Each structure stands twice: as structure tokens, then as C-alpha cells.
Chains A and B, each alone.
Chain A
């Protein structure tokens, strides 16, 4: 039963092959038995899930069931859930139980989905390995000694381990796509503004975007159809109506122009990964697509620009965690300054503190022009590269990550090495474009992700392109070995 996709579960529930309570209980049992190996959940809300599943079954029986009625999912612990602890992977929010839901959570509730709990993540979504979580690292189901990627490592690992068919996640510099690549799952980061950020704890506001991780593009389309839509509570959320991203999945991709950026196949790319991506591109040619070489000349500046902009925004976004109104407060503060210094010094982990300091530096007097302003200028150049490329092509493809899943602890000592994990994904966030990662084979016995970058608001085509590949390949059906 845990092998079923969201589409299959939704169909099975409607056809009364099984009930929501049945599949929900089955997955909850699986989580209880197996998640000790993966640590992909921070909180499991079993009781609530069973209550919601029973309610969903009643609606299914009554025939007024919404799209995902009774389908089990899980939310990244960055999305606020009313009455359920929302930690953002941080000691700072270990005791924080919000009295409100994120827009994404509301949307899934409205669609009748059943949440099994909250998935593990890098602290405040800052990381590419899930090792910065206060709740301990997540293990990659394909190899328990390796990381699942990050920051949405819990969301990706839970799907890869078949603990849940789909999860919500967020992507600021690659945090959906890179873990999807490292765990052999399908992840989608929508166009900036497609999905409301209301109730999604901010890391870098102009880059953060929520999206799904699932096993297939078809499931990602079903989830995106629920997640995306306008929200007047988020000023940056686009006024585009909700739509059905599944409608065009089966369109032909004959004549599709695929841009292949030469910059994405250079130094630093694992050769086996390069080979798998080339094979995927050849498969697309067989499906009738045409490969076009494109250039993204400023792409090597994406990582440096990102590591100014994201920390700068984060340094302000995380100032609200001050030990006054909610969250962690240090013991016996001597005075106000001590309250701030120690609550934040003790409540945040090392990577979060490092990024706050870097961001403060980039914004401080005398450095603003050289760092922050410069990075924002480079950001425009990076966007323009994509705008130019999309004059010639429909989608852009390349590797999602430069290497397969690496060992726990391998890149911990060197933040810069960790940052380069996102070398191919970050530019998409800076430009605000939609991106996906889908499985396209194995390198060194570990999953490889193919990255698809779409034009603005072109998620439907991206999903169509991904679905057509999955119709012609079976990489997405490969499952991680059973944990012992």
C-alpha cells in the first residue's frame, strides 16, 4: 500500500478499494517502525491524522470529497500548523505551537488531505545536508551513512522511504530540488509568488518558495494544483488564479526545444552524473525534443550573489527570535542585552548564526554597496541570462546537483564546500524561475537528479515535460532498499 502514488491513492479511495483510515494507519505504522532509521519526521501527529482520515472517509462516502480527500501527506516543519509544534528545525522554536495555519496548510486541509506530521529540515532551512537540524540529521534511505540533501531533507527522505507519498517543502537556493535529486524523488519549486508564503517561516523572503516533493511528476502536479494560488495576505503572491496543473501532462513534447547550458557541464561535476544527464537528454531527443546549446554567462556568480542576498534578508528575518514573545529564552538574563545575546546565542545553531553574521556584515555601513547592492546588480544580470536563453528554448536542462549523496559529516567542516552543492540550483531562485528535479538514473549506486528549469509561470509545461520522461523511463519507480 505504501508503494502507491498520490494519484493511485486518490483513485483507490474513490473506488473504495481501501479507506483513508486504512492507508493512514498503514503509513503511521511504517513511520513508527522505520523512521528511527531515517529521522525524517520531527513530529508525528497520529491521533489527529486518524481523526482527519475518518472524517475524509465520511466525505468520500457522502460523495462530496475534494481533490485530495483522504490522501496522506506531511508538511515540512517550516509551515505553521495550528496546534501542532512548528520548530523550523531549531531549538529556538522547540516549544512553539502556532495558533494559526500557513496558507499551504490551509490549502491542503481544504483539499481534504490528511497530514501525518512535520518533517525534519535544516535549521531555518539553512543547509544542503539536513545536518544543521536541532533534531539531528536525516539519513538518506538509499544509504543510511549518507545525507538526503537539504534543507528539505526530511520531506525528501520520507517520500523516498515510502513513509508518505508526498510532502510539502520549500526552496530558497535548491532546498527542494537538491534533496529530491539525492533521494531519487521528484521535486518542484514553483515560480516565485505562485505559492503563498503566509505562515511559512521566512529564511530569505525574496527567494523562498514552497513546493511539493513526491514520487512522480503526476503527483507533483496534483499537489501543486492544491498549493498554488493567490493570497492577499502575502504581498509577493501573484494574482494568478488556481489552476489544474495535471491537464496538460499528456501533451506531446514533439518539437520541444531544450536548452542545455554549457556552464552546467564543466569542472566540479561528477562525471557519472554528467553521463546520466546526457543519457536523459538523449531520451528526450527520442521523444521528439530538440537540444539547443545555450549560455548562462553569469552563472558562476550565482553562488556568491546568493550568499550575500540570502544571509542579508535572513539577518533581518531572524531578528524577531529574541526571547520576548515566543520561543527560546535563556535562563536568568542579567539584563536586556544579556537576554538578547544569550537567547539568540543559545537558541540558534552554528550555521544560522554564521549566516546572520554574514548578512549583518553585507548590510553594514561601508559594505552595503560593495556587497548587498553589488549582489542585487549581479542578480539582474543572472535573470537577464535566463530571459535571453528563453528567447530560444522552452525549458533548460542540466544536472540538479554536482555530486550524488555524500557522507554524513563529509562537508560539515567547510561551509563553502556545502554551499557549492547548490551551484546549479541557486540561479533559478535568484531569477524567480520555476525548477524541478526528477530521477534520471544512478551514479555510484546513488540516485541522480535531472534539473528542468522552466520559463516564468510555465510550471504546467515543466510538469508535462517531466511526466513524458517518466512515461518513457522507470527511474522514478526505483525504491530505496528496505531499512534493516
Chain B
């Protein structure tokens, strides 16, 4: 079972992952295999079962509102591919 190329392209766009034309068939086929595996889930009736997002039934502990983080800009900017004037640079953002 393959996923059609159009679906793969849509997913690639959503996930912002370039997929070359040469590999798109391969990707479609393998995605299809995985989806066929996960489609086994459809066989079971789960009506009324509460979905489980976390393995344990714990609740969130909140943090006090305090400033605890120092300025470490230079350390962080040093990791970036391109910076200037304390800013991260990216190709022009168009609104």
C-alpha cells in the first residue's frame, strides 16, 4: 500500500522537509508500509476509553514567578549559523 505522491508532498510541506523527485516513490511506499502497520489499530473497539497522554496520572507542579536566567546571549549566538547585531539572521521574512 503506497501513500499517493500528493499526500507525501503535502506532509513534506507541513514538516518542511525537502524530498527529491527521485526518492518520492520510495518514501511513498515506505510510508504506506508504516501506515498499514498502524492501521491494525482500527480493528479494536475503543469506544468510551479515555485517551492516555501520559503514562502516570501526575499533575503539573507550577514554578514561582522569579527571574532565574542570566543573560547568556553571546554563548547562544555563537552556536548560530548567522547572526548580526545580536540578532539571528534568516532569509527575508515576508508578511
A interface, CB within 8 angstroms of B: 96-97, 99, 191-193, 206-207, 232, 235-236, 238-239, 298, 300-301, 303-305, 307-308, 315, 319, 322-326, 329, 333-342, 344-346, 348, 353-354, 356-358, 360-362, 364, 370-371, 373-381, 383, 414-416, 419, 430-433, 456
Q: Do the beta carbons of A345 and B38 come within 8 Å of each other?
A: no
**A356 to chain B: which residues have CB within 8 Å?**
15, 17
A-B contact pairs, 24 of them (CB 8 A): A99-B79, A206-B54, A235-B61, A301-B44, A304-B39, A305-B38, A307-B34, A319-B16, A333-B91, A341-B12, A344-B15, A344-B18, A345-B19, A354-B27, A356-B15, A357-B15, A360-B15, A362-B38, A374-B42, A374-B46, A375-B41, A376-B53, A377-B51, A430-B55
Tell me the smallest distance from the CB of B49 to a CB of chain A, in Å.
4
Tell me the smallest distance from the CB of A290 to a CB of chain B, in Å.
28
* The residue from B49, B81, B82 contacting A380, defined by CB atoms under 8 A apart: B49
Q: How far is the CA of A360 from the CA of B35 in the complex (A)?
A: 12
Q: How far is the CA of A97 from the CA of B78 in the complex (A)?
A: 10
Q: Do the beta carbons of A338 and B41 come within 8 Å of each other?
A: no
* The residue from A96, A336, A340, A344 contacting B92, defined by CB atoms under 8 A apart: A336
**A371 to chain B: which residues have CB within 8 Å?**
38, 41
Q: Which secondary structure characterizes the binding site on chain A?
A: helix
* The residue from B49, B90, B91 contacting A381, defined by CB atoms under 8 A apart: B49
Size bracket of the B interface:
35 or more
Tell me the smallest distance from the CB of B89 to a CB of chain A, in Å.
9
Most chain-A Cβ atoms within 10 A of its Cβ — which of B27, B49, B80? B49
B67 is an interface residue with CB less than 8 A from chain A: no
Q: Do the beta carbons of B49 and A326 come within 8 Å of each other?
A: no
B interface, CB within 8 angstroms of A: 3, 7-8, 11-12, 14-20, 27, 30-31, 33-42, 44, 46, 49-56, 58, 60-61, 63, 72, 75-76, 79-82, 88, 90-94
Q: Do the beta carbons of A344 and B41 come within 8 Å of each other?
A: no
A346's nearest neighbour on chain B, judged by CB, is B18
A335's nearest neighbour on chain B, judged by CB, is B91
**B93 to chain A: which residues have CB within 8 Å?**
336
A361's nearest neighbour on chain B, judged by CB, is B11
Q: Do the beta carbons of A235 and B60 come within 8 Å of each other?
A: yes
Q: Do the beta carbons of A308 and B38 come within 8 Å of each other?
A: yes
Tell me the smallest distance from the CB of A149 to a CB of chain B, in Å.
20
- Please give 13 more A-B residue pairs, beta carbons under 8 A apart, in addition to A304-B39, A358-B38: A238-B58, A301-B44, A304-B38, A308-B41, A325-B88, A340-B16, A345-B18, A353-B17, A354-B31, A357-B27, A360-B15, A416-B37, A432-B54
Q: Do the beta carbons of A232 and B63 come within 8 Å of each other?
A: yes
Q: Do the beta carbons of B79 and A96 come within 8 Å of each other?
A: yes
Tell me the smallest distance from the CB of B74 to a CB of chain A, in Å.
10
